[in-house]
């Protein structure tokens, strides 16, 4: 605990970019949750743009707005 999943449009990140992203996210999660780096896991989940509304926006954003700590500034 905790686990972070980032759903995003497909993007080719280099191993270095992935590592920097993981390091940055891990640092803030450790700080805010009062845990240690070894407890944090992070996953990237690419989603095709044509599938975004049905796969992500509907069920995870609009359908769970009470859980969002930051809402997007767009509508599906």
52/56 Cα distance (integer angstroms): 5
User: Please, which residues have CB within 8 angstroms of residue 41's CB and are 6 or more apart in sequence?
Assistant: 2, 3, 4
Nearest to 44, CA basis, from 70, 17, 64, 63 = 17
Instruction: Provide the annotated active-site residues.
Output: 2
């Amino acid at each position: 605990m905790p686990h972070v999943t980032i759903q995003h449009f497909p993007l080719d990140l280099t191993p270095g970019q992935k590592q920097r992203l993981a390091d940055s996210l891990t640092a803030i999660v450790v700080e805010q949750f009062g845990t240690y780096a070894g407890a944090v896991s992070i996953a990237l989940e690419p989603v095709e743009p044509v599938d975004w509304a049905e796969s992500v926006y509907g069920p995870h954003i609009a359908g769970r707005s009470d859980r969002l700590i930051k809402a997007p500034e767009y509508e599906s």
